[in-house]
Structure 1
Amino acid sequence: MNLPAYIVNWPGKSGRNGGPEHPAVYHMLDVAAVAEILIAREDFPAQVRDALALLVGLHDLGKVGIGFRAMIREGLSQTVRHWELSEAWLTQDEFLAERLQADPWVMQALIGAVAGHHGRPSRQDERFFSKMCLSAGAAAGADVVTIARDFAALWPEASLKGIGRRQAAGLGWWLAGLTNVADWVGSNAEWFPAREADLSLIDYLELARPRARRAVPEAGLGGAEALAGSLFDFRPRPMQAAAVGIDLPEGPVLAVIEDETGAGKTEAALVLAQRMLLAGKGRGLFFGLPTTATADAMFRRAASFAGRLMRNPALTLAHGRAGLSVPFRDLVAGRAETGDEVTATAWLADNSRRALLADIGIGTIDQALLAVMRARFSALRLWGLSSKILIVDEAHEIQGDGYMAALLETLLRVHAGQGGSAILLSATLPLAARNRLSRAFAEGAGRQVRTDASRAYPALSVNGAVQGVRALDSAKGAVGIGCLPEFDNALNILEYNAKQGAACLWVRNAVDDAIQAVEALRVRGVLASLLHARFALCDRKRIEAAELARFGRDGVDRAGRVLVATQVVESSLDLDFDVMVSDLAPMAALIQRAGRLWRHMDMRPREARPVAAPVLHVLSPDPAEVRDDRWLREVLGAGAWVYPLDLQWRTADLLFRAGEIRAPEGLRDLIEPVHGDGADPIPEVLERAERERIGEGYARRSMGDQNVIDFRAGYRGGASGADDAHYPTRLGRETRKLALARWQGGCLVPWAGEGTSLDELWQMSELSAAKARLDRLPLPDQASPAIAAAKRDWPEWRRDAVTLCPVEDGVICEGLTYDGEIGLSFVSPIVR
């Protein structure tokens, strides 16, 4: 067969293990064949689908050039990146725009999207496009003209006529993500093996299409049908019943579910999500949780409902430590007890970014927020989310942080702009925050902003319209409030009630204070355990499992025990206590903490409890006696600096006057005066602290606004800056990661004793602590022979980012110790 020279002369993939080179145009058709399947699901006219497949097929036109060929065949570096050359070739070729009947600006936007398929758009100036093309060689210049025409002939009906500039700006983001995914699948040698140049374009495309039809479902991208059956076999609670009956308007929908902790908000969200799926408002779900622990817990729950929600869905877990989740690994390996109705493909599990592509993704909210940040692969994440119903749990935690609030509002605005729907869940969301979220979503959907001043609670809002929901009578009744003015008062309460057989909890604001408290309780002979974030991961998981077995829904051996913990118990663990002490914290946090008090009344009714009524004892000074801004420090010590001082005072003043937390009907009246707009005035000596909090909030929001994409500018302009900096999803004190080790046979081995691989053991041995405190200590020399030997096989990024710390007789270095039951302890003066 007399093949065009461009098939033979320009390799797209190097030959592996002596195999043939894969021609660039064959690879381009592999990717186009994948794109055809993914595009076919969308509501585009047939000619637009063909045009988009054609453009995706030309994504790697820049591999036609002497620079890329020299890299493949001779190992030389490229002076011009091939994907940047793709943009130059396509922009310089006037034929394509005329052939597709496209507005020049529209064509430019879409070319920049398909060319920027390696996670970010090109930064090359158009003034240099001609020079870039010349550097590729005269033969390449002649061949790309022919390739563009021959590719266009494969999709003869392709047209972009009628696509406007505004539509193209949004379409560019979607197309960049689609191209990224299609390129990843089309580059997989198992699905698309290298083939020597022996087929024409049309013949090779006919070979690539059935391969794509096999590859897409095997990757976990085949899509799953929504099912209409009942999700749960219990009688619905009022919020769940409201989710069944509330009207769902046309177009994108934002639902906000507000109800107390433990009221079944997740089940209500799933009912709503099922209705949205059946109404065509999405083809899958992504759950954004506040922490890795809550994401892991939701993943375990998802296995029980995923198969009833969708037919044979692909389920995956997305966060930095997803690979350490045993249930996730079992599902990927086919060992999970879910039957064949739920799967997790190895391709999706291989990369946390791909979790947004699964039919049902479970992860931290960070994975979704990265979709709207100026970080690499934002378009990929946006494409994955565009077909999903986004479910965000504990939305109040995000809105309480100015930085994350800016990110979430942008995410909702962009998600609505792509036609997506979302569901937000919260027990303590202020009205002003709810309105800001509704406003952002409405703006993205291109409709009139609607906000509702209703103070109803519990409440279900749909596109800004609030519907009050009947509150169930609480089996535990109102939670009383007690004020403990001194540390010893807290010890006395816990010691007394533990001796009466109560299961007790003390929530402390700071790790150092938690360690101090557990040691003081043990001196008094109280059986006390400790949980905080400064444990090695293996110890933290072990302790969490033990505390869940003791204080969870089905807990045993809980009588007379005390758990001292930090904020990790607020939302991550389903625990139930008879008696609770808490350091003073802002109202929203205290309400969350109180949700762990007398939680499972069906398992432990009032008459079975060793105390007469639920009481939240708050360690706090008297808010009526404020002499200066050291008011809280005298009682809480290090924990006084964790939360804004003005919010702390407002909480104490309101809560002690109210004398109780009456959930759910009384929660709105507790939240608004502390966290809402127009909050109550504070003592004059605390006004400076309030001004600083407000100023810091503005600064954090401003930083968030700077770090998000400009969706309206299109992909090439709006995602610029992707490699300029690291864009965090959360702000906070800078931390430093340590990996703990022990001596064994004269060598250093991971602190963790159980794992499936050495890499996993090192990850399970890690913990993080404040960098400012660690930097003042003489941490172990990383160049020492034993440490260097232990880190020798680590990836370079981990060697640089993680400090290996041998623990010998509990000591790491002067001023720093570690114990598996206490955690990391600073024995030097505390640095603030």
Structure 2
Amino acid sequence: MTQDDRWQGYPTEVVAWLGALWGKSAKKAGGTKNLLLSHMLDTAAVAELAWDSYLPPVTRWRLDDFAGGPGKGRRLFAWLCGIHDCGKATPAFQHVDAEAAGAVLAAGLTWDKYALKGASWRHDKAGGRLLLRILGDAQWSQEQIAWVWPLVAGHHGSFPTRGQLKPKKEALQGRGEAWPRAQLALVEAFTRALGYEGKTPLAEVEPVRVPSRAVQLQLSGFVVMTDWIASNEQHFKGIDDLSLVAMPGARERAASAWAKLGLRGGWGRLPLPAVEAFQDRFGHGPWLSQELLLDVVHRMAGPGLVIFEAPMGEGKTKAALAAAELLAARCGADGVFVGMPTQATADPMFSQVRGWLERLGTGLESQVALLHGKRMFNKEWRRLLDGAGEWGQDADSCYASVAEDEVDEYGMASPFGDAGSASQRKAPAEWFLGRLRGLLSPFAVGTIDQLLFAATRTKHVMLRMSGLVGKVVVLDEVHAADVYMSQFLLEGLWWLGQAGAPVILLSATLPPDQRRHLVAAYVAGAQSAEGFEAVEIPEPDGYPSVTAVWLGEEGPEHLVESTTSWREDLSVRVEILPEAPGTDAAAAARTAVAPADQAVVALLESRLAGGGCVLIIRNTVPRAQATFEALREVYGADVRLLHGRLHAGHRADRTQEALNLLGPATNGVERPDRLILVATQLAEQSFDVDADLLITDLAPVDLLLQRIGRLHRHDRDGRPALLAEPTVVVTGTALHEDGPPWMLRAGEKIYGRYLMLRTAAVVAEADGGTWQVPGQVPELVSQVYGEGDLVPAGWRPAELKARQEWELRQQQRRQAAAQYLLTRSGEHEAQTLEGLHYGGHGTLAEGQFEALVRDGERSVEVVLVRRDDKGVHAVGGRRLGPGGEVAAGLVDDVLAGTVRLPAGLTLVAEQELGPLAGWRDHPWLRYSRALVLDGQGKAVLGDFRLRYDDLLGLVVEGGPRYR
């Protein structure tokens, strides 16, 4: 090794140490070991590019502020990222590769091999311990040291406590005189290479201000991101000659890797949108409610939380996207995340966001990631994955069911290799599509679970939070979050509030308590407060409404305003079609037409005399199937069925057919003279169909009103005379004169008896009369979710008991969620990330994440295939290999057979089902559970007899009780 001018003045032994300490073994660095200093400089160089081309403007502003002024944040950011692996300069790490260890020993850094034998000491924790000593010796203040060391100690996914920074044996960290000197020399050499000069370069690095804990978490995610990029051996080959290790060379390597990976950020510094922007984006000027939202956002004095409540069809999404553009320009956000309640609602939103960005004219429509576990079924998404073969280079979906510990430590495992021609991709760079990284994409659309995951105390949560902080976060239909999910939503809002991230929440309407809790969580985060104390803001006095809150110089400030809808209220007639007790059992037995379905048949005989289109919503799949069968006997092919136990192919086709037949008049498909669509809750939200008559099972009032939103949804001429008056017929209940109503047990199990009783009271009061929709929506929701007397006197004992049970259940669900929340109780006021993961969860597969943030009976998906005397077939009939082997072009056909089993079959499915033999080496199918049907479409699973019917979907014909 030849010493160059950089090492003049360094003791010979120090130069030898720096030339021997290794960061990547030859096996993980392209055949040549990579010196530790080289990897640290590579990471710092990647961080510089991230600063220039990726970091949100608001993050750069903040880092400049923390570093002491404009222009200083870039170098501090590079230092924070590059210093991450300093803990590898310890015997615990240096001895693990025999070949590389020989050079270290030869340079004079020795260890007791017997002391190291069988002992473990992670280099991330070692780095935290090392910085505590070195930064303390450099006279850094304790408050600055306290927030910096966890970034190093947590860069492999979890943050230890300070007490965990002590190895079992001091020999693991490095004893004697040489090791501390070598560690200091490494840190100082790295620091000087970044341009910090003087006798004490480390003193120059010290920040002048401490960032909030939320911003620390964001920075931690960027440390992980830059480390993962710089650890890619395809782009960063090993360098084992110290004379070749220098920052200019690292910058060349980083620039090449960045370009080949196709990495980029979002808007950058977005200019304020022009007055006519809404017209340009959406083809029409804003309606009153949309204009109100934009006006309130214009008047906000800082980033904050905005809640936009408006009826179905009011254009909430368009208004939110326009408001997001305005907030991004004002607050320095670089992109947008839109969270939807379900995968089905996320898919059309993905198209809508891409269209909006295309109309902005920046080419950013290619930078939108679709984030949910079934995105491989979205044809638009797959079409955008350029040049990646049959399924695209979509590593995230590939690993959708793989535990985190099955992916390599840098999150780079992918069966597809590099992205190829990144410049021609019409989707975000492949790197962003790997597991855990989706939210780091410049723009993202997915389920609300993405935000909920970011509020869990799980490994690598910093990557999720880094992808949210710096974006405008838009969450649609937040009323759909139950009390369990709401705990994660509130926790997420707390962190976003502390980070100063703008958030827009959309809902048809919110119960007053839920609105107050959402506001309180965000404000508590903005104030770094422990309790989510209610913020004193008025309730909206009209509908649609906008509630905005932000942190001003003297505390929380707010705007609460309302307007009128762009269309007049719909006067909806409310009727009850009573049912008799025992309906549940009759529907489940399926031995005859249940009395409830006979009543529906009789009702429709009179109502459909002049034709018309009817939507029937049942609360359970078996009930929907039974109703469909009864109506099919009378109306034949005029009846359609849509529910969650259809396989993916049938469900997609039937959903699209329903939207075509019953959607807006402008879709070009002729509306049928008569059609009856029987559906479950799939038709409850973000389902743009227009029914002449609605028949629905009783559900809590907010959900009932959501269903009513499908009734006379569009202005349409020529409705049948008998259905000219919008009417909702409520089923699943029967009123009694001397006591509480009878209600379906299944409905009570799903929604709880308390809210169902109070909803039944408002329905009973309106029976034969009308509701004014949407004008009366807030009043009805407030009545049901409020504290006042609502039910008749004869119901009150039952209501009191139901309320006590409901409150107990709510408390139990809050407590169940609390153990998984990102912040433990009593720790919201903590100043650093130290110990954030103490007692948390490490490795979870994607399905386990879903179970973590959604409180319900766990269920599994299976892939249906058929086996007969001719072999194995996909559900569509195409032939597979003898062991289920899938030829090129057939994966679509196989995965179209995906269906979710009833929750009662989960355990037996997990015990008995796995992939077919021919799937075990397939990247998409090797984690799928196959349910093999015989030639008649039947199968036995444990004690259950199953049948897949092309009309009914999956039918459970026998076995223990299930739902």
| TM-score, with length taken from structure 2 | 0.77
CA drift of 1:414 comes to 0.9
Q: What is the distance in 1 between the residues matched to 2:39 and 2:796?
A: 69
> What does residue 552 of structure 1 align with?
663
Q: What is the distance in 2 between the residues matched to 1:796 and 1:541?
A: 20
Q: What is the distance in 2 between the residues matched to 1:163 and 1:627?
A: 65
Q: Quick one: structure 1 residues 778 and 123, their matched pair in 2 at CA, closer, same or farther if it must change by over 3 Å?
A: closer
Q: What is the distance in 2 between the residues matched to 1:797 and 1:576?
A: 38
State whether structure 2 residue 330 is matched by structure 1 residue 276.
no
Q: Quick one: structure 1 residues 746 and 202, their matched pair in 2 at CA, closer, same or farther if it must change by over 3 Å?
A: same
Q: Deviations over 1:384-443 (max 9, x none)?
A: 111011101001111xx1111121111111101011010010112112211111111112
> What does residue 904 of structure 2 align with?
772
**Is this contact kept in 1: 2:371–2:447, CA < 8 A?**
yes
CA drift of 1:618 comes to 1.0
State whether structure 2 residue 247 is matched by structure 1 residue 202.
yes
> What does residue 841 of structure 2 align with?
723
Q: Deviations over 1:654-693 (max 9, x none)?
A: 1332332312211111111112344635531243222111
> What does residue 537 of structure 1 align with?
648
CA drift of 1:163 comes to 2.4
State the AA in 2 paired with 1:721: G
CA drift of 1:716 comes to 2.8
**Is this contact kept in 2: 1:458–1:470, CA < 8 A?**
yes
Q: 1:369 aligns with which of 433, 449, 452?
A: 452
Q: What is the distance in 2 between the residues matched to 1:685 and 1:627?
A: 8
State whether structure 2 residue 962 is matched by structure 1 residue 831.
yes
Q: Deviations over 1:301-341 (max 9, x none)?
A: 112101334723221111112233211122232899xxx99
Q: Which moved more, 1:48-57 or 1:315-324?
A: 48-57
Q: What is the distance in 1 between the residues matched to 2:269 and 2:94?
A: 44
Q: What is the distance in 2 between the residues matched to 1:126 and 1:244?
A: 49
**Secondary structure, counterpart of 1:503 in structure 2:** strand
**Is this contact kept in 1: 2:618–2:678, CA < 8 A?**
yes
**Is this contact kept in 1: 2:574–2:729, CA < 8 A?**
yes
Q: Quick one: structure 1 residues 179 and 11, their matched pair in 2 at CA, closer, same or farther if it must change by over 3 Å?
A: closer
Q: Quick one: structure 1 residues 780 and 121, their matched pair in 2 at CA, closer, same or farther if it must change by over 3 Å?
A: closer
> What does residue 55 of structure 1 align with?
80
State whether structure 2 residue 248 is matched by structure 1 residue 120.
no
Q: What is the distance in 2 between the residues matched to 1:471 and 1:693?
A: 34
Q: What is the distance in 1 between the residues matched to 2:913 and 2:453?
A: 33
**Is this contact kept in 2: 1:537–1:766, CA < 8 A?**
yes
Q: 2:547 aligns with which of 457, 461, 471?
A: 461
Q: Quick one: structure 1 residues 143 and 470, their matched pair in 2 at CA, closer, same or farther if it must change by over 3 Å?
A: same
State whether structure 2 residue 844 is matched by structure 1 residue 733.
no
> What does residue 356 of structure 1 align with?
439
CA drift of 1:23 comes to 2.7
Q: Deviations over 1:699-757 (max 9, x none)?
A: 21222233212254332322333435755111001223322221267654543668976
Q: What is the distance in 2 between the residues matched to 1:758 and 1:132?
A: 58
Q: Quick one: structure 1 residues 773 and 15, their matched pair in 2 at CA, closer, same or farther if it must change by over 3 Å?
A: closer
Q: Quick one: structure 1 residues 610 and 528, their matched pair in 2 at CA, closer, same or farther if it must change by over 3 Å?
A: same
> What does residue 510 of structure 2 align with?
429
**Is this contact kept in 2: 1:442–1:450, CA < 8 A?**
no
**Secondary structure, counterpart of 2:751 in structure 1:** coil
> What does residue 64 of structure 1 align with?
89
Q: What is the distance in 1 between the residues matched to 2:99 and 2:206?
A: 40
Q: What is the distance in 1 between the residues matched to 2:355 and 2:817?
A: 37
> What does residue 408 of structure 2 align with?
none
> What does residue 725 of structure 2 align with?
613
Q: 1:234 aligns with which of 284, 287, 294?
A: 284
**Is this contact kept in 2: 1:739–1:802, CA < 8 A?**
yes
> What does residue 681 of structure 2 align with?
567
**Is this contact kept in 1: 2:32–2:237, CA < 8 A?**
no
State the AA in 1 paired with 2:205: S
> What does residue 494 of structure 1 align with?
604
Taking the TM superposition and a 5 Å limit, the aligned residue runs for 1:703-714 are 703-710=816-823, 712-713=829-830, 714=832
CA drift of 1:517 comes to 0.4
CA drift of 1:136 comes to 6.1
**Is this contact kept in 1: 2:386–2:426, CA < 8 A?**
no
**Is this contact kept in 2: 1:782–1:788, CA < 8 A?**
no
**Is this contact kept in 2: 1:312–1:343, CA < 8 A?**
no
> What does residue 289 of structure 1 align with?
340
Q: Quick one: structure 1 residues 215 and 97, their matched pair in 2 at CA, closer, same or farther if it must change by over 3 Å?
A: farther
Q: What is the distance in 2 between the residues matched to 1:118 and 1:692?
A: 43
State the AA in 2 paired with 1:179: V
Q: What is the distance in 2 between the residues matched to 1:51 and 1:780?
A: 52
**Is this contact kept in 2: 1:498–1:559, CA < 8 A?**
no
Q: Quick one: structure 1 residues 670 and 281, their matched pair in 2 at CA, closer, same or farther if it must change by over 3 Å?
A: farther
Q: What is the distance in 2 between the residues matched to 1:411 and 1:796?
A: 32
> What does residue 478 of structure 2 align with?
395
Q: What is the distance in 2 between the residues matched to 1:442 and 1:169?
A: 15
Q: Quick one: structure 1 residues 153 and 757, their matched pair in 2 at CA, closer, same or farther if it must change by over 3 Å?
A: farther
State whether structure 2 residue 576 is matched by structure 1 residue 445.
no
State whether structure 2 residue 57 is matched by structure 1 residue 32.
no
Q: 2:737 aligns with which of 625, 639, 655?
A: 625
Q: Quick one: structure 1 residues 621 and 34, their matched pair in 2 at CA, closer, same or farther if it must change by over 3 Å?
A: same
* Structure 1 unaligned residues grouped into runs of 5+: none
Q: What is the distance in 1 between the residues matched to 2:153 and 2:94?
A: 18
Q: Deviations over 1:444-472 (max 9, x none)?
A: 22299442133321111111421011223
CA drift of 1:251 comes to 2.4
> What does residue 267 of structure 1 align with?
318
Q: Which moved more, 1:527-536 or 1:494-503?
A: 494-503
Q: What is the distance in 2 between the residues matched to 1:238 and 1:65?
A: 65
Q: Which moved more, 1:222-231 or 1:669-678?
A: 222-231
Q: Deviations over 1:254-299 (max 9, x none)?
A: 1111110111111111121111112125221100100001111100
> What does residue 232 of structure 2 align with?
188
Q: Deviations over 1:200-222 (max 9, x none)?
A: 33343443453466468x22336
> What does residue 304 of structure 1 align with?
355
**Secondary structure, counterpart of 1:231 in structure 2:** helix
Q: 2:774 aligns with which of 642, 657, 664?
A: 664
**Is this contact kept in 1: 2:453–2:853, CA < 8 A?**
yes
**Secondary structure, counterpart of 2:954 in structure 1:** strand
**Secondary structure, counterpart of 2:166 in structure 1:** helix
State the AA in 2 paired with 1:718: L
Q: What is the distance in 2 between the residues matched to 1:598 and 1:363?
A: 29
State the AA in 1 paired with 2:898: E
State whether structure 2 residue 374 is matched by structure 1 residue 321.
yes
Q: Deviations over 1:14-59 (max 9, x none)?
A: 3479643333322222221222343464112344543342132111
Q: 1:103 aligns with which of 141, 149, 155?
A: 141
Q: Which moved more, 1:369-378 or 1:643-652?
A: 643-652
State whether structure 2 residue 798 is matched by structure 1 residue 685.
yes
Q: 1:701 aligns with which of 814, 829, 833?
A: 814
Q: What is the distance in 2 between the residues matched to 1:346 and 1:609?
A: 55
**Secondary structure, counterpart of 1:715 in structure 2:** coil
